């Protein structure tokens, strides 16, 4: 971590850095999301996430942010031979391994920059429960 960014550095046990270093923007440094961290949904996610990164998505002309914890974002490059072997074993055991969902937040804003919707995403690929702003999360 450095300033408002996280650096994802793939490391190989035997050869050190092995792959492209990726820079990700920290969600807690995104000014548009300051109100989120004061809300129930944001404080719960912030409690859970150690390295919350943010990606801006333009969807049907509106601004939306996807917030994910860098710890759970899977990169298949830079694993080294031992990581490649482990990945192959994981996919052989579960062919849908790379399709898994990770716990994330989807945050929608209106034209005035106000948060209009917060949705928890993640869990199993079937039977997901998704809640919105002020929704029931039980």
pLDDT (tens place) for every residue of the chain, 138 residues total: 777 888 877 766 666 666 778 888 899 998 989 999 999 999 999 998 999 999 888 777 778 999 999 887 766 665 667 777 887 888 888 888 777 677 888 999 888 888 999 988 875 333 333 333 333 333
What pLDDT does residue 80 have? 65
> Longest Cα pair distance anywhere in the chain, in angstroms?
51
Burial of 107 (0-12, 13-18, 19+ CB in 10 A): buried
What pLDDT does residue 75 have? 65
What pLDDT does residue 54 have? 92
Give the strands of the sheet with 104-109, arranged side by side. 52-59, 62-69, 104-109, 115-121
> Contacts by 21-27 with C-beta closer than 8 Å and gap 24+?
22/75, 24/53, 24/70, 25/53, 25/54, 25/55, 26/1, 26/51, 26/52, 26/53, 26/54, 27/52, 27/53, 27/54, 27/65, 27/67
Q: Which of 115, 89, 121, 118 is nearest to 102 (CA)?
A: 121
- What's this model's pTM, rounded to 2 decimal places? 0.69
């Amino acid at each position: 971590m450095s300033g408002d960014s996280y650096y994802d550095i793939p490391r190989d046990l035997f050869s050190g850095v092995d792959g492209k270093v990726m820079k990700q923007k920290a969600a807690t440094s995104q000014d548009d999301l300051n109100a989120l961290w004061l809300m129930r949904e944001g404080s719960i996610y912030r409690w859970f996430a150690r390295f919350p990164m943010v990606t801006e998505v333009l969807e049907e002309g509106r601004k939306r942010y996807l917030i994910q914890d860098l710890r759970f974002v899977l990169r298949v490059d830079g694993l080294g031979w031992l990581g490649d072997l482990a990945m192959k074993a994981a996919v052989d055991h579960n062919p849908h391994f790379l399709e898994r969902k990770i716990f994330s937040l989807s945050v929608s804003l209106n034209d005035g920059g106000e948060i209009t919707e917060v949705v928890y995403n993640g869990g199993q690929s079937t039977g997901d429960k998704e809640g919105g702003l002020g929704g029931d999360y039980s």
